[in-house]
Amino acid sequence: MDAARNGKEVTAVIELRARFDEESNLQLASRLQAAGAVVIYGVVGFKTHAKMMLILRREAGEIVRYAHLGTGNYHAGNAKLYTDYSLLTSDDALCEDVGKLFSQLIGMGKTLRMKKLLHAPFTLKKGMLDMIARETQFALDGKPAHIIAKFNSLTDPKIIRALYKASQSGVRIDLVVRGMCCLRPGIVGVSHNIHVRSIIGRFLEHTRVFYFLNGGEEQMFLSSADWMERNLDKRVETCFPVEGKKLIMRVKKELESYLTDNTHSWSLQSDGRYVRNTPTGNQNPRSAQATLLEKLGSPILTVN
């Protein structure tokens, strides 16, 4: 609103059907319009669930673009309670992709091929299925294959069947699923290579992260979407790559801390029960949230 009042061109896409936030979003839209911003309410028939921003600045006489993409909403209250990732980048390809998606949302552009961004309901589901299939093929070829994924819920039948096939082919699959999980892990001959855990701690786990070993050329993606039909087929969502070995390793280490949590984690059994993980023998208590809070709460964070 300050930018709009100061004469900057501001366009905001607001989803009025956001659960529990309908009234506040209407009020926010009115305030933005009063400040001079153009407010768009998304695409008819599809709920807009993507979280993104595109900023154009004039620097040294040239127009420079910055994109911000995240797994969580631009919501001050949730930011204090939820765990989320976001990426601020000036990468030309990603900025171009975000610009194309905004053009679609405001009705000024048709569906165009993206360079790096996967977006629902067009390419995200197929992209995820293709990457799972690629890990499956690596395993069939006798090569190491590993998938780590963290999200809120897993209910999409096609994704689940692809994960079962990957497990049967020898892919090691570690899932961190906070909420609903329609996949059954640990079934001999079906899902014996799949491990599912849920983290219940001080913060609500909200990140969507997808890691693929990819034959040693590791790939990492962050997304606004869960592996659910409603997200992948009926919403506008984004999924974007984390690039560069340092950033990939950072996110991977943080993912792995959830896999070794023995304080606030619960493991899903093949019969649908959840069993709480606790330290055994000489193990020290490990809490992923406490570890990350201590690390990320420090005033200076280095990327090793």
Integer Cα distance of 254 and 288 in angstroms: 8
Please name which of 89, 75, 99, 52 lies closest in space to residue 223, comparing C-alpha atoms.
52
CB 259 within 8 A of CB 173: no
CB 17 within 8 A of CB 47: yes
Pair of tokens at residue 53? 């921003």
Integer Cα distance of 2 and 203 in angstroms: 31
Contacts of 154 (CB under 8 A, 6+ apart): 160, 175, 177, 180, 181, 182, 183, 226, 227, 228
Contacts of 113 (CB under 8 A, 6+ apart): none
Could you give the residue numbers annotated as active site? 49
Half-sphere exposure of 165 (CA within 13 A, CB side): 17
Q: Output the CA–CA distances (angstroms, integers) from residue 227 to 12, 150, 176, 196, 263, in the order listed.
A: 27, 10, 12, 14, 26
